[in-house]
């Protein structure tokens, strides 16, 4: 039990990562600075990889560190940095406390499934789609669970507290209205959480060794790790306590072998062994028997899986034009184009959580099946704050690239379109101007109409597509002004610094005008 | 009152109060709206110019007999500035923070128990409160800055004699507080010509969309009939003369260095319109309110104290 301390370290590190990550996803007050969020998520494997291949800089090289760590000590990522892994462990731990959990036992690896998924995912990715990544990346799955399930509950609790404090005349806690509630991401997250709980109780880390693409990939690397966890054949009494403790089910007591490709480096076995018969050993000293998966079968399964999945993959569908709604979703400022965004976003919903106005909302299949749950600018929920670049600061995958406030001020993500025949001014013959009121660049301006009435007019050159006009437009059910997405974001002209009054310039006088 | 009647009444009152508290409508019970017993103010309207916001306000309120004419000891006050936009004070889109701070201080000077400040903003409320400088101003003056972003804080009220606006949801603090001081900023407005005192009411109600859908000018006038502030303070220090009510650059702002105080909301708006270079009769909600007898836009009929600093 000399190495039992390693488990303690692992638990502490994983809990720190987990708690801070969860907090970042429920934090509505922006208490955690964007810089810290970036540092925290630096090591998330898939987001870091996606960002790296685009920006190609050390600022996104977190996945390389993970690979190096894996080469040395195996899949340390899975039991420390990965929030889904820790979530699984939490449920496993709880079930152990309540004695629901059965003992774990050695299981055979599901190589066919795991290599097929990984191969398919890589191949689909080569066709620049993140399909499967957005459904299977463990960080993004944890993000979806926290953002879509824990976050609303957290808000609800906060709002209740706010209401109670208000009864005592305290306004220290403010309420956070949950503006939009869309079922598909919630249902998906809930079903997945249910699966997670079941697996955690009965199958341990089955997900990580069967479905998780990161687990599989790191597993390939950990086959060649310099230090591996091995059983000391002389010390081992074949008591089997280590196999019972192993939630990855990778310790074969009969053969006295550890399948290190499936080991998640949790070190529970170190603590379980009364003889100190299991621990890190130099991996090169004794050659492993080749694994039961031949190279040929690896390629075979990979290829087969890819073709099946590729044949089901869909791209953007042509939608019929509808009044007052953009044909393609508007993507957030910094996301370059709809193609850049959809080929990078793993729908972890961190931007959805961090967005101060909550204009960013998860979709279902509006980007097509391959872009399930990726967020969009929902101008019926809110509009994009003119001075805010929060989403671009926190996005860990580079789907939303960092931009400055100055860049954002002229970054055109869409263009406002005015539908005159349903505007209040035309249908009710009364003043309104809500759209123009909210417009931060005055791209929507009120110009003379009949009599004393004024009607909106859009200057498309200076419109940035923030959606303030669409949000404010009071017409029902369709909005009389809406933002049509720019598939490629463009640069808008700067709003005029100064305008001349059409009538007479108002100047301060020397005396009171009354 | 015999003993039985006493018990019956006490219990009934208790139940009613308890029920009201449970349903959140408790404000009305303790803040019975009785006509204020204090002296009538010496002027219908005070206009000040060429000073700094704090000095102008001090001068103006002094000529109305001091804040004690509006706020009594132990009362709760709502000071309602315009905090609608996430812009800096220099842009003139929100009420001047120095003015807000001074008004709160004066309220406390007159013995106010609590001074609440809020606005149902257009941009994200947190950013508006912060960047307008009003969060700091309220904190420094010891007031309570209250979020107004949650529908649960609004209660539906009947708007009596409303032509277009029959019902609307009003922030509960307006209903429960003793004194309401309306502190708008004078600005241009794309469709309503100007925005000042009456239009500032759109920040104490929940569903502004309804107003926009159903004849904005009439709704503004209707609501002014439902609820009149105890004092209107129109900030015309920095006046956004074009591209309002949000404005785009500081070029939209003209330094007018003026301030208007009046109990009459229509007169306050009429004087503001004049400052802006507009005829009050051409600002339709002012005319509608005038015609409905809610106040007067004919400034020649009022006793006005004009102060040049």
Confidence at residue A372, expressed as pLDDT on a 0 to 100 scale = 93
Counted domains in chain B: 1
Confidence at residue A233, expressed as pLDDT on a 0 to 100 scale = 86
Confidence at residue A311, expressed as pLDDT on a 0 to 100 scale = 47
The neighbouring-strand residues paired with A281 are: A228
Going by CATH, does the domain composed of A338-491 fall within 1.10.3720.10?
Answer: no
Q: What is the mean pLDDT of residues A11-20?
A: 96
Looking at CA atoms only, how far is residue B198 from chain A in angstroms?
A: 16
Q: Which two tokens stand for residue A479?
A: 């909005």
Q: What is the mean pLDDT of residues A175-184?
A: 84
Q: Which of B213, B271, B273 should one mutate to test binding to chain A, selecting the residue with the greatest count of A CBs within 10 A? A: B213
> What confidence tens digit (pLDDT) does each residue in A135-163 have?
999 999 999 999 999 999 999 999 999 99
Question: B188 lies in which domain range?
Answer: 47-308
For residues A335 and A319, give the distance between their C-alpha atoms in angstroms, rounded to a whole number. Answer: 22
Confidence at residue A318, expressed as pLDDT on a 0 to 100 scale = 40
Residue with tokens 């500035």: B81
pLDDT band for position B3 (cuts 50, 70, 90)? low
A416 conformational bin, left if phi > 0, alpha if psi -120 to 50, beta if neither: beta
For residues A416 and A476, give the distance between their C-alpha atoms in angstroms, rounded to a whole number. Answer: 17
Option in B146, B149, B246 nearest A438 (CB): B246
pLDDT at residue B199 tops 60: yes
For residues A64 and A51, give the distance between their C-alpha atoms in angstroms, rounded to a whole number. Answer: 12
Q: Which two tokens stand for residue A259?
A: 């399948």
Distances (CA, A) of A388 to A5, A409, B68: 45, 10, 43
For residues B235 and A452, give the distance between their C-alpha atoms in angstroms, rounded to a whole number. Answer: 27
Q: Which two tokens stand for residue A206?
A: 């089955």
Option in A177, A387, A454 nearest B190 (CB): A454
Query: What is the predicted ipTM?
Result: 0.86
pLDDT band for position A348 (cuts 50, 70, 90)? very high
Among A254-263, A503-512, B7-16, name the one with the lowest average pLDDT. B7-16
Q: Could B192 and A431 be called an inter-chain contact, meaning their C-beta atoms sit closer than 8 Å?
A: yes
Which residue, among A265, A253, A203, has the nearest Cα to A229 in the 3D structure? Answer: A265
Helix (H, G, I), strand (E, B) or coil at A236: coil
pLDDT at residue A373 tops 50: yes
pLDDT at residue A102 tops 80: no
pLDDT band for position A275 (cuts 50, 70, 90)? confident
Confidence at residue A98, expressed as pLDDT on a 0 to 100 scale = 85
pLDDT at residue A321 tops 60: no
pLDDT at residue B246 tops 80: yes
How many residue contacts between A and B have a Cβ separation below 8 Å? 135
pLDDT band for position A395 (cuts 50, 70, 90)? very high
| Highest mean pLDDT of the ranges A301-305, A395-399, B8-12 | A395-399
Among A219-223, A224-228, A509-513, B110-114, name the one with the lowest average pLDDT. A509-513
Q: Which two tokens stand for residue A236?
A: 């081992």
For residues A411 and A385, give the distance between their C-alpha atoms in angstroms, rounded to a whole number. Answer: 13
Looking at CA atoms only, how far is residue A135 from chain B in angstroms?
A: 32
Confidence at residue B20, expressed as pLDDT on a 0 to 100 scale = 45
> What confidence tens digit (pLDDT) does each residue in A108-120 have?
999 999 999 999 9
Nearest chain B residue (CA) to A507:
B254
Residue with tokens 């987001």: A47
* Partners of residue B91 in chain A, C-beta under 8 Å: none
Q: What is the mean pLDDT of residues B64-88?
A: 96
Is residue B114 in a domain? Answer: yes
pLDDT at residue A83 tops 50: yes
Helix (H, G, I), strand (E, B) or coil at B308: strand
Confidence at residue A282, expressed as pLDDT on a 0 to 100 scale = 78
Looking at CA atoms only, how far is residue A37 from chain B in angstroms?
A: 21
Among A47-61, A273-287, A426-440, B49-63, name the one with the lowest average pLDDT. A273-287
- For residue A358, whether the previous peptide bond is cis, meaning omega lies within 30 degrees of 0, is no
> What confidence tens digit (pLDDT) does each residue in A470-486 have?
999 999 889 999 999 99
Q: Could B147 and A171 be called an inter-chain contact, meaning their C-beta atoms sit closer than 8 Å?
A: yes
Pairing between strand B231-240 and B185-189? parallel
Helix (H, G, I), strand (E, B) or coil at A444: strand
Q: Could B241 and A438 be called an inter-chain contact, meaning their C-beta atoms sit closer than 8 Å?
A: no
Q: Could A433 and B191 be called an inter-chain contact, meaning their C-beta atoms sit closer than 8 Å?
A: yes
> What confidence tens digit (pLDDT) does each residue in A427-482 have?
999 999 999 999 999 999 999 998 889 999 999 999 999 999 999 999 988 999 99
The whole-chain average pLDDT of chain A stands at: 89
Confidence at residue A295, expressed as pLDDT on a 0 to 100 scale = 54
Q: Which residues of B64-84 are buried (b: 16+ CB within 10 A; e: fewer)?
A: beebebbbbeebbbbbbbbbb
| CB within 8 Å of chain B, chain A residues 155-174 | 159, 162-163, 166, 169, 171, 174
Confidence at residue B138, expressed as pLDDT on a 0 to 100 scale = 97
Contact B290, B297 (CB under 8 A): yes
Give one DSSP letter per residue of B193-241, joined into a string: EEESTTGGGGGSBS-HHHHHHS-HHHHHHHHHHH---SEEEEEEEEEE-
For residues A19 and B196, give the distance between their C-alpha atoms in angstroms, rounded to a whole number. Answer: 48
Contact B85, B244 (CB under 8 A): no
Looking at CA atoms only, how far is residue B215 from chain A in angstroms?
A: 5
The percent of residues in chain A predicted with pLDDT above 70, rounded, is 90
Question: In what helix (H) or strand (E) does residue B128 lie, and over which residues does it extend?
Answer: helix B125-131
The percent of residues in chain B predicted with pLDDT above 90, rounded, is 82
Domain boundaries, chain A: 2-311, 338-491
Contact A77, A66 (CB under 8 A): yes
Is residue B41 in a domain? Answer: no
Confidence at residue A306, expressed as pLDDT on a 0 to 100 scale = 54
For residues A313 and B71, give the distance between their C-alpha atoms in angstroms, rounded to a whole number. Answer: 70
pLDDT band for position A298 (cuts 50, 70, 90)? low
pLDDT at residue B264 tops 80: yes
Contact B116, B153 (CB under 8 A): no
pLDDT band for position B52 (cuts 50, 70, 90)? very high
The percent of residues in chain B predicted with pLDDT above 70, rounded, is 87
Confidence at residue A506, expressed as pLDDT on a 0 to 100 scale = 73
Q: What is the CATH number of the domain that holds B230?
A: 3.40.50.11440
Among A255-259, A293-297, B236-240, name the one with the lowest average pLDDT. A293-297
For residues A12 and B72, give the distance between their C-alpha atoms in angstroms, rounded to a whole number. Answer: 58
For residues A467 and B116, give the distance between their C-alpha atoms in angstroms, rounded to a whole number. Answer: 32
A430 close contact with B: CB closer than 8 A: yes
The neighbouring-strand residues paired with B231 are: B181
Q: Could A474 and B212 be called an inter-chain contact, meaning their C-beta atoms sit closer than 8 Å?
A: yes
Looking at CA atoms only, how far is residue B267 from chain A in angstroms?
A: 11
For residues A76 and A82, give the distance between their C-alpha atoms in angstroms, rounded to a whole number. Answer: 9
DSSP designation for A332: P
């Amino acid at each position: 039990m000399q190495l039992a301390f390693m488990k303690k370290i692992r638990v502490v590190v994983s809990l720190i990562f987990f708690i801070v990550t969860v907090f970042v996803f429920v934090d509505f007050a922006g208490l955690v600075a964007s810089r810290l969020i970036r540092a925290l998520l630096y090591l998330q494997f898939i987001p870091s990889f996606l960002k790296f291949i685009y920006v190609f800089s050390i600022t996104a090289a977190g996945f390389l560190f993970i690979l190096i760590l894996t080469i040395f000590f195996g899949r340390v990522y899975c039991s420390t940095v990965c929030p889904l892994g820790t979530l699984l462990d939490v449920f496993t731990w709880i079930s152990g406390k309540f004695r629901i959990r059965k003992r774990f036992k050695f299981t055979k690896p599901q190589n066919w499934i795991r290599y097929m998924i990984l191969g398919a995912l890589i191949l689909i990715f080569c066709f620049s789609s993140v399909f499967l990544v957005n459904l299977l990346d463990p960080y993004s799955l944890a993000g979806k669970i926290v953002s879509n399930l824990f976050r609303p509950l957290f808000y609800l609790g906060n709002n209740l507290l706010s209401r109670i404090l208000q009864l005592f005349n305290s306004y220290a806690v403010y309420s956070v209205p949950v503006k939009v509630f869309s079922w598909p991401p919630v249902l998906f997250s809930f079903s997945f959480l249910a699966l997670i709980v079941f697996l955690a109780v009965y199958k341990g880390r089955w997900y990580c060794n069967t479905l998780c693409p990161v687990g599989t990939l790191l597993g390939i690397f950990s086959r060649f790790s310099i230090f591996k966890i091995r059983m000391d054949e002389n010390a081992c009494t074949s008591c089997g306590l280590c196999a019972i403790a192993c939630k990855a089910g990778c310790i074969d007591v009969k053969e006295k072998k550890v399948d290190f490709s499936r080991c998640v480096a949790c070190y529970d076995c170190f603590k379980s062994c009364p003889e100190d018969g299991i621990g890190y050993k130099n991996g090169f000293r004794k050659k492993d028997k080749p694994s039961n998966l031949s190279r040929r079968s690896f390629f075979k399964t990979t290829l087969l899986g890819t073709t099946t999945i590729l044949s089901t993959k869909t791209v953007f569908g042509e939608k019929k034009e509808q009044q007052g709604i953009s044909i393609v979703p508007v993507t957030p400022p910094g996301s370059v184009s709809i193609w850049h965004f959809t080929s990078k976003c793993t729908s972890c919903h961190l931007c959805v959580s961090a967005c101060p106005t909550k204009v960013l909302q998860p979709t279902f299949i509006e980007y097509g099946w391959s872009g399930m749950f990726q967020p969009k600018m929902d101008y019926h929920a809110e509009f994009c704050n003119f001075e805010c670049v929060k989403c671009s600061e926190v996005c860990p995958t580079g789907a939303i690239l960092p931009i400055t406030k100055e860049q954002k001020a002229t970054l055109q993500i869409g263009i406002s379109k005015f539908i005159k025949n349903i505007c209040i001014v035309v249908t009710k013959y009364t003043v309104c101007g809500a759209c123009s009121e909210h417009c931060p660049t005055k791209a929507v301006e009120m110009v003379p109409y009949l009599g004393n009435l004024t009607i909106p007019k859009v200057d498309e050159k200076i419109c940035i597509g923030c959606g303030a006009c669409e949000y404010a437009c009071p017409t029902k059910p369709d909005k009389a002004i809406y933002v049509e997405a720019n598939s490629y974001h463009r640069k808008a002209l700067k709003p005029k610094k100064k305008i001349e009054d059409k009538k007479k310039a108002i100047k301060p006088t020397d005396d009171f005008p009354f | 009152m015999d003993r039985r009647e006493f018990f019956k009444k006490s219990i009934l009152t208790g139940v009613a109060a308890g029920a009201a508290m449970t349903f959140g409508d408790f404000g009305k019970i303790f803040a019975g709206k009785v006509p204020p017993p204090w002296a009538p103010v010496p002027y219908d309207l005070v206009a000040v110019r060429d000073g700094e916001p704090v000095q102008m306000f001090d001068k103006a309120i002094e000529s109305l007999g001091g804040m004690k004419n509006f706020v009594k000891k132990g009362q709760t006050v709502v000071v309602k500035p315009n905090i609608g936009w996430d812009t800096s004070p220099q842009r003139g889109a929100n009420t001047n923070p120095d003015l807000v701070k001074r008004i709160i201080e004066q309220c406390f000077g007159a013995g106010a128990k609590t001074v609440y400040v809020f606005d149902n903003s257009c941009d994200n409320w947190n950013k508006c409160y912060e960047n307008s400088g009003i969060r700091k101003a309220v904190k420094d003056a010891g007031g309570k800055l209250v979020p107004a972003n949650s529908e649960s804080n609004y209660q539906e009220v009947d708007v009596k004699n409303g032509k277009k606006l029959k019902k609307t949801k009003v922030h509960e603090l307006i209903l429960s507080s003793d004194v309401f001081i309306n502190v708008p900023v004078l600005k241009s407005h794309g469709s309503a010509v100007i925005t000042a005192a009456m239009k500032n009411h759109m920040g104490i109600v929940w569903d502004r969309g309804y107003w926009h859908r159903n004849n904005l000018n009439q709704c503004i006038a209707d609501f002014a009939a439902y609820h009149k502030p105890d004092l209107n303070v129109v900030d015309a220090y920095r006046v956004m003369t074009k591209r309002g009510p949000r404005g785009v650059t500081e070029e939209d702002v003209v330094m007018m260095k003026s301030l208007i105080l009046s109990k009459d909301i229509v007169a306050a708006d009429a004087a503001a319109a004049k400052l802006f270079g507009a005829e009050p009769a051409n600002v339709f909600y002012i005319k509608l309110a005038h015609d409905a007898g809610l106040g007067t836009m004919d400034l020649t009929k009022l006793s006005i104290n004009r102060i040049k600093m």
